[in-house]
Structure 1
Amino acid sequence: MMIIEENAFEMFSRAHVSAIVVFFFVIVLLFLSKKKWSFQPQTLRRLEHLFAWSLLVMDVFYYIWLFQADRWNVSNSLPLELCSISLIMTIILVWTGNKHVYDFVFYAGIGGALQAVATPVLDMSFPHFRYFHFFYTHIGIVITALYFTWVKGYRPTFKGIVKTMVALNVLLPIVFAINILLQGNYMFLRMKPTNGSLLDFLGPYPWYILSLEIVAFVIFVILWLLFRRSTSK
């Protein structure tokens, strides 16, 4: 894979703001067109599968790039970040339409991806491949959750919040143990990101992990209140 000249990413730079603008434009476009998806079911499934494949291929290229650039490391390159897990669940959701998977993607996926887009842990800026990979996959998570809500008629529930919180708390000790074993920092369970993030407002280690649980629950409840009446299914 050809690697374009590396430019350092700066938070709220033109490249960052442009990605946020595109993000909100796509959300607005999806919302305005939510009742106009009149494709035949077979055609719609093909489009959904094409999108799922695009997410998968983009992520595979990312790992190929990591290897080629000699950046892959077992301590920080496994798909164990919340958004990496959410991306896998997003692809599964598009292929299966599973309601349990939808709950996770809607709550954990939207919550994690919004935080990631707002304060990216990213060292490559436009026009590097990593810049496009980061924003395409994170935006793809949110768009998939909203597509299943607005277009497919799925409805977020409070029970879905409980299931997502349980799933996250099952994942946390597993990822924490992997961090200790591999000297990693997946899900930022050992330290905060060095280039700044929303975690900076949640207290010192390890208390920010507990604070993050509370914030996650509050965000999930807000999402539920905002979207529970937007569908009828």
Structure 2
Amino acid sequence: MIGKESSAFEMFSSAHLAVIIALFFVIILLFLSRKKWSFKPQNIRRTERLFACSLLVMDIFYHIWLFQAGRWSFSNSLPLELCSISLVMTIILLWTSNKHVYDFVFYAGIGGAIQAVATPVLDMGFPHFRFFHFFYTHIGIVITALYFTWVKGYRPTFKGIIKTMVALNVLLPIVFAINIFFQGNYMFLRTKPTNGSLLDFLGPYPWYILSLEGVTFFIFVVLWLVFRKKVVSANT
């Protein structure tokens, strides 16, 4: 079943649009119910860890499928894409509730996963397993970040932006070196996606990498301004 082939993925097809609508529906539902979560702490912790396990199992099945299909390779299957790293951090966040991990998941996770859902780099369409894996894990990243923000009361900080930018720039030369060694294109550091993405608007190689730094910082600042904790005046 995992290896069953299907039609090629088509961007903005009915299946893709249905996923985007579902994501917005879940986000709205989570926001509206943010103050109504009244489960016992131990039940909340159990639910968070069950969701973390579901993300992990889904990703393990993905790698099993890659092996079965003869697709797994060091050049394109290591967890070195931004969303792959964000997925690992999301699982850790759900398991530990660590504030430092939350910063990365909130900024890099939301920023990367939303773009991935909107313009997926995906070759398998509905109802292939890869289709469900891709969108389940990416939506899971976004929902986890918003859940910790709206339900658990975590708040992004400007310091978190700096920490996340530093972490990403520490990762970049490491990933670039691995790309050279294995002839890969992790984080699209060697070339843009062939089926189109937001990177197409950021200039030619290698300048789009520098442009992406500025765009990334801008997106992080916007996220911080929208979701930061509002300071309420004592006179109000």
Question: What SS does the corresponding residue of 2:70 show, helix, strand or coil?
Answer: coil
1:134 aligns with 2:118: no
TM superposition shift of 1:73: 1.1
C-alpha distance in structure 2 between counterparts of 1:220 and 1:30, whole Å: 21
The TM-score normalised by the length of structure 2 is: 0.96
Where 1:48 maps in the other structure, the secondary structure is helix
Q: Please tell me whether the aligned partners of residues 74 and 182 of structure 1 are also in contact (alpha carbons under 8 angstroms).
A: yes
Rounded to whole Å, the distance in 1 between the matches of 2:209 and 2:5 is: 36
Whether the 8 Å CA contact 1:157–1:228 is kept in 2: the answer is: yes
Q: Is 2:3–2:68's contact at 8 Å kept on the other side of the alignment?
A: no
Aligned residue in 1 for 2:73? 73
Query: 2:68, 2:43 → 1: CA distance?
Result: 37
- The equivalent residue for 1:160 is 160
Is residue 2:53 matched to residue 1:48?
A: no
Task: Tell me the number of residue pairs that the alignment of Structure 1 and Structure 2 aligns.
Answer: 232
Q: Within 2, Cα distance between the matches of 1:25 and 1:230?
A: 25
Q: Which residue of 2 is the match for residue 193 of structure 1?
A: 193
Contact 2:104 2:164 in 1 (8 A): yes
Corresponding residue of 1:4: 4
CA contact (8 A) 1:80 1:175 kept: yes
Q: Which residue of 2 aligns with 1:85?
A: 85
Q: Equivalent residues in 2 for 1:1-233 (5 A)? A: 1-229=1-229
Contact 1:110–1:145 (CA under 8 A) maintained in structure 2: yes
Q: In structure 2, what is the Cα distance between the partners aligned to 1:125 and 1:55?
A: 20
Task: Tell me the CA shift for residue 15 of structure 1.
Answer: 1.1
Q: Per-residue displacement from partner, 1:4-33 (whole Å, max 9, x unpaired)?
A: 332100111111101101111110110011
Query: For the Cα contact (< 8 Å) 1:7–1:126, is it kept in 2?
Result: yes
Contact 1:150 1:231 in 2 (8 A): no
TM-score (norm 1): 0.97
* CA deviation string 1:47-92 (max 9, x = no partner): 1111000000000000000000111111001000000000000000
CA shift for structure 1 position 3: 2.8
Q: Identity over aligned residues, as a percent?
A: 81
Contact (CA 8 Å) 1:4, 1:127: kept in 2 or not?
no
Q: Using the alignment, how far apart are the partners of 2:96 and 2:11 within structure 1?
A: 36
Q: Deviations over 1:139-177 (max 9, x none)?
A: 000000000000000010000000000000000000000
Structure 2 distance, partners of 1:137, 1:62, is 11
Query: Which amino acid is the alignment partner of residue 45 of structure 1?
Result: R
Distance 2:6 2:83 in 1: 23
**1:38 shift after superposition:** 0.2
Query: In structure 2, what residue type is equivalent to 1:40?
Result: K
Deviations 1:105-140 (A, max 9, x none): 000000000110010000001100000000000000
Contact 2:75 2:185 survives alignment (8 Å): yes
RMSD: 1.2
Q: Distance in 1 between matches of 2:126 and 2:68?
A: 19
